[in-house]
Chains A and B, each alone.
Chain A
């Protein structure tokens, strides 16, 4: 039961253009969404997050958009830089019955071409 899905395993974008990474979820109980970035042979690092009560959060070149009716979120990177080449994981948090659960998507490998 994949509650958080990243349907594109890979994405290739030219340097300087916009990168858009997508994530879909099935459970309306998620109340926070996060994006993590991962380089090979390293642990993921937190990038940006958004609360379910918002529809946009921006931090420098990174913007996350949340569409609750479509159960969809996206990460926009503009302009894309070579150092952005990494695997990006979408994650969602839900709180219920005294438990807090974090669920990750499968990841999207972003390649920025010069």
Chain B
């Protein structure tokens, strides 16, 4: 089955610690995204990548870093600089076609909490 796999489902971070959230897709999609969901708020874009070895900051990139070394993988690192990391993190991918209704396919999410 094609899809997006996020791991782990739950993650706990200690103060001053960096943690990495995994996202893998086998849909052969070019574009991948990281969103953050907080209670009562919509999905906010952290980083996105439209092609391997290239990525762009979204609306709330501070305190986060990403890499895109393979088409299938787009890991997100939550650094110690992110002061309010507790949130539900969603990874998504899409067939990037300029000018179209870009439908995103989402993973099942990772809930990150601070100890």
Alpha-carbon gap, A51 to B35, bound state (A): 24
Cross-chain contact B40 with A100 (CB below 8 angstroms): no
Q: Is the interface of B mostly helix, strand, loop or mixed?
A: loop
Partner of B104, one of A42, A46, A103: A46
Instruction: Annotate A19-44 by CB proximity to B: 1 below 8 A, 0 otherwise.
Output: 00000000000011010100001111
Cross-chain contact A43 with B98 (CB below 8 angstroms): no
Q: Is the interface of A mostly helix, strand, loop or mixed?
A: strand
Alpha-carbon gap, A32 to B41, bound state (A): 21
Instruction: Return chain B residues, CB-CB under 8 Å to A51.
Output: 101
Cross-chain contact B103 with A89 (CB below 8 angstroms): no
Minimum CB–CB distance from B65 to chain A (whole Å) comes to: 21
Partner of B98, one of A4, A34, A45, A95: A95
Alpha-carbon gap, A105 to B41, bound state (A): 8
Instruction: Return chain A residues, CB-CB under 8 Å to B32.
Output: none
Which residue numbers of B lie inside 8 Å of A, CB to CB? 4, 6, 9, 35, 40-45, 90-92, 96, 98-109, 111
Pull 20 A–B residue pairs with CB atoms less than 8 Å apart, ordered by A.
Answer: A4-B42, A6-B42, A32-B102, A34-B103, A41-B9, A41-B111, A42-B109, A43-B4, A43-B91, A43-B92, A43-B107, A43-B108, A45-B106, A46-B104, A49-B101, A49-B103, A51-B101, A89-B43, A100-B96, A103-B42
